[in-house]
C-alpha cells in the first residue's frame, strides 16, 4: 500500500514539473508563430485574385 503513495507523490511531482516547464515556454514565446506571416505575404496575391473572381461572379 505504501508503494501507491510513493507512486502517486512522484507522479504529482512530475506533473507539476511539466506544467511549470509549459508555463515557462509559453511566457518565453516558444509557441509564437514566426513562420506564417512571412509565408502569408507570398500567397497574398492569390487571395486577392480569388476575392476578385468571387465578387465578379456575384455581380453577374
Per-residue pLDDT of the chain (60 residues; tens, 9 = 90+): 899 999 999 999 999 999 999 999 999 988 787 777 777 777 766 666 665 666 655 555
Residues 6+ apart with CB under 8 A from 25: 31
Tell me how many domains the chain contains.
1
pLDDT (0 to 100) of residue 55: 62
pTM: 0.54
pLDDT (0 to 100) of residue 39: 76
pLDDT (0 to 100) of residue 7: 97
pLDDT (0 to 100) of residue 19: 98
Amino acid at each position: 500500500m505504501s508503494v501507491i503513495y510513493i507512486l502517486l507523490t512522484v507522479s504529482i511531482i512530475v506533473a507539476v514539473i511539466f506544467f511549470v516547464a509549459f508555463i515557462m515556454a509559453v511566457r518565453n514565446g516558444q509557441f509564437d508563430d514566426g513562420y506564417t506571416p512571412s509565408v502569408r505575404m507570398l500567397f497574398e496575391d492569390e487571395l486577392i485574385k480569388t476575392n476578385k473572381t468571387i465578387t465578379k461572379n456575384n455581380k453577374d
